[in-house]
Structure 1
């Protein structure tokens, strides 16, 4: 049994190398331009390792997406634990826009996966919506956010921001959408 531990650590390191390289390629927007086997070469692993961890390009993309969702959900929990509720919600929404802006290639790849009907995307969307729900619920509870706006409406705004990533003034407009959402969430807003 002890002999398996180094192999598992090595396998984990190679899997992480593949994911890190895929994230880089996402950010360049070239994810679908590369041959799938090229990911192994770029990550410094063998093609067998690539296929053992990720049998398809879609499986690799979905694994990157799951990692990004986990990062955003963890950020929501961290903010909720350290900031007043309304501030935590506002910071999370602005951080999410920053995240989308930093990973525009991922947005393009996700659009392709959405067209293929990936269950992973639906699961990730539900996880993110739960993170937003938790933030909104806390802010409603302390009276800093209206109680008649659903977290789903906020998610629609975030999805719209992500889908519009190719607009020339995307960042300015995305910040404007978040400002509108936050103003609309205030009691009496």
Structure 2
């Protein structure tokens, strides 16, 4: 009796690539049009047929949720990339600008997201945990580099970021986000200069 084998690896790899292409296309379309973006248009932009889209995502709601989770994963993985290329405080500022982009996208798709049961798969708590972890790594790097205050915890920073949840998506939300982020960064840097000696070195 022969042991049953799974599908060949190239088939799985091809399916994985199609799913990634669909998520990337959905991200662009939902950001551009909103939650009612054409599924046929998303499939076309991804270079696949509508049947392929439905094999991966049986309905619009599952595609919306998967796209949001995809964006969260991208945002969180960006924390390490930014820390490799920018000073920690600048990395945190840029990461918060990307967070604002995600939150605006979430507002535009809020009806579809709210129609789902948050307990299904724990997607809401898992997403929050990922975002909190990314902020924690950025804050820790900033504190270690003495680029931001050490007397504030990650939970304090997350609470201070909550203003980004109230961005006016009908107006110039990017400028509003930049002002809020600038205000937050000023607060995170407050008092740091007092730790620097007259010769530019850190005081004990």
Instruction: Provide the TM-score with structure 2 as the length reference.
Output: 0.72
The equivalent position to 1:85 in structure 2, one of 85, 88, 92, is 88
The equivalent position to 1:29 in structure 2, one of 33, 40, 49, is 33
In the alignment, the residues of structure 1 paired with residue 146 and residue 34 of structure 2 have an alpha-carbon distance, to the nearest angstrom, of 45
* Structure with greater contact order relative to length (CA < 8 Å, sep ≥ 6): 1
Residue 10 (structure 1) aligns with? 14
More helix by share: 1
Q: Could you say if the C-alpha distance between residues 114 and 75 of structure 1 is closer, same or farther in structure 2, counting changes exceeding 3 Å? A: same
In the alignment, the residues of structure 2 paired with residue 52 and residue 32 of structure 1 have an alpha-carbon distance, to the nearest angstrom, of 19
**8 Å Cα contact 1:143/1:187 also seen in 2:** no
More off after superposition, 5-14 vs 38-47: 38-47
In the alignment, the residues of structure 1 paired with residue 72 and residue 183 of structure 2 have an alpha-carbon distance, to the nearest angstrom, of 24
Larger Rg, first or second structure (1 or 2): 2
2:180 is paired with a residue whose SS is helix
In the alignment, the residues of structure 2 paired with residue 188 and residue 26 of structure 1 have an alpha-carbon distance, to the nearest angstrom, of 42
**8 Å Cα contact 2:142/2:148 also seen in 1:** yes
1:61 and 2:77 matched? no
In the alignment, the residues of structure 2 paired with residue 177 and residue 53 of structure 1 have an alpha-carbon distance, to the nearest angstrom, of 38
Q: Could you say if the C-alpha distance between residues 165 and 4 of structure 1 is closer, same or farther in structure 2, counting changes exceeding 3 Å? A: farther
1:164 and 2:167 matched? yes
In the alignment, the residues of structure 1 paired with residue 191 and residue 117 of structure 2 have an alpha-carbon distance, to the nearest angstrom, of 39
Residue 109 (structure 2) aligns with? 109
1:75 is paired with a residue whose SS is helix
Residue 140 (structure 1) aligns with? 143
Residue 177 of structure 1 and its aligned partner are, at CA, apart by 0.2
**8 Å Cα contact 2:136/2:154 also seen in 1:** yes
Structure 1, unpaired ranges of 5+:
none
Q: Could you say if the C-alpha distance between residues 143 and 46 of structure 1 is closer, same or farther in structure 2, counting changes exceeding 3 Å? A: closer
Residue 175 (structure 1) aligns with? 178
Deviations for 1:20-58, whole angstroms, at most 9, x for unmatched residues? Answer: 332232023342364x677556653243x3333223323
Instruction: Provide the TM-score with structure 1 as the length reference.
Output: 0.76
